[in-house]
Amino acid sequence: MLLLLLLPLAALSTHCTESDRRIYTLRGHEFPALFRSYAGLTVSRTSYEERIASEIGLSPSCAQCYGEAYICGWNSCKWKCVSDGDVCNVCLGEYHCIENCNQCTGLIPHK
């Protein structure tokens, strides 16, 4: 649903800890699918962040970056992200949801 394209990231963090970077190194390839599935199960930024922190093991400060992206997508692209991945991704890009998340985490997309 939302956050269809959380790009794979390399580690250079500001809001994410060294532990978060290790988790990313081990499980980062799973992040896009996990975050999409969590968006369909939660109804608030807080519950989204709590799910990321508890199920993935990210620190609360790192999970907040993804919570901001979730709210950005929900507020700006909710209806575009219900059915079509490409339309959703374009909308998330127009509103800088993913870009802002990457800046918040300090993680940089792989090229």
pLDDT given for residue 3 in this prediction: 44
Mean pLDDT, 10 residues at a time, the chain of 111 residues:
43 74 85 80 86 93 93 90 80 92 77 44
Does 66 fall in a domain? Answer: yes
pLDDT given for residue 68 in this prediction: 93
Question: How many domains does one find in the chain?
Answer: 1
Does 57 fall in a domain? Answer: yes
Q: Which residues contact 86 (CB under 8 A, 6 or more apart)?
A: none
Does 3 fall in a domain? Answer: no
Does 2 fall in a domain? Answer: no
Residues of the domain holding 75: 9-109
Q: Which residues contact 100 (CB under 8 A, 6 or more apart)?
A: 68, 69, 72
Q: Which of 89, 55, 95, 99 is nearest to 75 (CA)?
A: 95
pLDDT given for residue 56 in this prediction: 93
Does 95 fall in a domain? Answer: yes
Return the number of other C-beta atoms located less than 10 Å from residue 11's C-beta.
17
pTM (2 d.p.): 0.79
Q: In whole angstroms, what is the distance from residue 27 CA to residue 53 CA?
A: 13
Does 92 fall in a domain? Answer: yes
pLDDT given for residue 62 in this prediction: 94
Amino acid found at 76: S
pLDDT given for residue 95 in this prediction: 96
Does 21 fall in a domain? Answer: yes
pLDDT given for residue 67 in this prediction: 93
